[in-house]
Amino acid sequence: MTDPLNNSYYAATAHDWLADTDMVGAYVCDVAVIGGGFTGLSAALACAERGFSVILVEAERVGFGASGRNGGQLIPGLRWPASELEAEFGRERADALFDLCWRDNRVKNRIAKHGIDCDLKAGHLEAAWTPKDFDTMRREADYLGKRHGYETDVIAKAGMAAHIASPLYHGGIHDPQGGHFHPLNYAIGLAKAAEAAGVRILQGQRANRILDGNGSRLFLDRSAIEARYFIDATDSWIGELEPDLGRYTVPIMNYNIATAPLANAGSLLPSNAAVADSRFVLDYFRLSADKRLIFGGGERYSQTPPRDIAAFVRPFMAEVFPQIADARIDFGWGGAVAVTMNRLPHIGRHGNVFYAHGFSGHGALVTTLAGELIAEAMAGTAERFDILASLPAKPFPGGKWLRRPLATLGLFYYAMKDKLG
């Protein structure tokens, strides 16, 4: 299938890998996984390692959705600062969330265990858009160090040149535990590891419905799978298979570009950290292994992409880096990010169907964690799964037809607050 949004640097530099493209008939397994992104692949792999027989179904190809198109930024934690989690949920629950979502880097562990070649680099910088944002960051860094022994580097405005050649920012927080990678090659690496562990991966057949007689069969375009458990890891598309779960997220379109390789790449980002700014509608950028600038900016609330993605994103890049305003852009692509009302992921189970979605643009690390915790729960140890499943979630108001317009109005309000300071 030709996808106009997938003219990506990642697709052009992806490792070779082949999976099943057809499967006709009736099949039986312990676990049927729907969705070939980070959540589904990590869940399938972890289930197979625990002795379950697993079939993973992907309507397109592994990494087709946000897992293979994102900015490649590895940001520890959740969208809420750790101090807000403690204020909202209390010390014990917040500590459990912190241990899972900040300390427990399952992505790094998987890359090391399976030798996944995905250009992993250390270091993430959150850049303060305003002095007020920097004051908030300093308080959070102090909290992280004193409360959790989690060390980050507070970078004053005068020191930002060691990380980024742009005068826009008022300081920042550098987290050496964060980093960046080639997300599609990570997904392909997980797929190869899953196959080696015995997972059968089927690409090119869409899941149509789960028959809930006791929720035992999944119907595809040309086949059916009978399973003891199901994992719905379809994220932005979850409403197509399970409309009730679809009420908890709305898709927001994000767009990225990749320049031609830059002779001055090292001077743009001297520490080679990934960078994201502190605005609600943020810019985020990093260098690729071959010294391109990969830059994301300019959310849109319509699912119709710009006619020229490169032209749409270029002004955001030029604002940050005027010195490369006219650089050649080789790739422009986009995709949907599933966002929840409170920007925390929505994770849980109903009957024998497990689900994890709504990572709200902060999922490159947490998706792998969620997939592995689903496998733990399925094997009978649900304590850590329950920590994530206990995160609060509310459906967007407005029903099928008004949910998205109402959510768009709310998101537009916060985008205007960015512009007005």
**pLDDT tens for residues 329-347?**
999 999 989 999 999 999 9
**pLDDT tens for residues 265-319?**
999 999 999 999 999 889 999 999 999 999 998 766 667 788 899 999 999 999 9
For helices 366-378 and 106-114, the axis angle rounded to 10 degrees is: 80
Average pLDDT over residues 27-45: 97
Check: pTM over 0.85? Answer yes or no: yes
Average pLDDT over residues 63-80: 96
What is the sign of the dihedral through the CA atoms of 243, 246, 247 and 252?
A: negative
Q: Compute the distance between CA of residue 181 and CA of residue 70 in angstroms, rounded to an integer.
A: 10
pLDDT of 415 > 80? The answer is: no
**pLDDT tens for residues 311-322?**
999 999 999 999
pLDDT of residue 248: 94
Q: CA nearest 138: which of 87, 81, 89? A: 81
**Res. 220 pLDDT band, cuts 50 70 90:** confident
Contact at 8 Å (CB) between 61 and 204?
yes
DSSP states of 191-237: HHHHHHTT-EEEES--EEEEETTTT-EEEESSEEEEEEEEEE--GGG
What is the sign of the dihedral through the CA atoms of 41, 44, 45 and 47?
A: positive
Q: Compute the distance between CA of residue 201 and CA of residue 223 in angstroms, rounded to an integer.
A: 14
Question: CA of 407: how far to CAs of 251, 253, 339, 388, in Å?
Answer: 10, 13, 10, 24
Q: CA nearest 109: which of 30, 46, 57? A: 46
pLDDT of residue 411: 62
Question: CA of 210: how far to CAs of 60, 226, 395, in Å?
Answer: 19, 10, 21
Contact at 8 Å (CB) between 262 and 292?
yes
What is the sign of the dihedral through the CA atoms of 164, 68, 263 and 323?
A: negative
pLDDT of residue 1: 40
**pLDDT tens for residues 382-410?**
999 999 999 999 998 876 655 666 666 66
pLDDT of 353 > 60? The answer is: yes
pLDDT of 83 > 90? The answer is: yes
Domains of the chain, by residue range, sit at 9-69+185-248+342-401
Average pLDDT over residues 219-237: 91
pLDDT of 40 > 80? The answer is: yes
**pLDDT tens for residues 157-212?**
999 999 999 999 999 999 999 999 999 999 999 999 999 999 999 998 889 888 66
| Amino acid type, 7 | N
**Side-chain-side CA neighbours of residue 299 (13 Å):** 22
Architecture of domain 9-69+185-248+342-401: 3-Layer(bba) Sandwich (3.50)
Q: Compute the distance between CA of residue 60 and CA of residue 240 in angstroms, rounded to an integer.
A: 15
- Tokens 């809930």 identify what position? 212
pLDDT of residue 79: 95
Helices (H) and strands (E) in the chain, counts: 14, 17
pLDDT of 225 > 80? The answer is: yes
Q: Compute the distance between CA of residue 62 and CA of residue 64 in angstroms, rounded to an integer.
A: 6
Contact at 8 Å (CB) between 175 and 145?
no
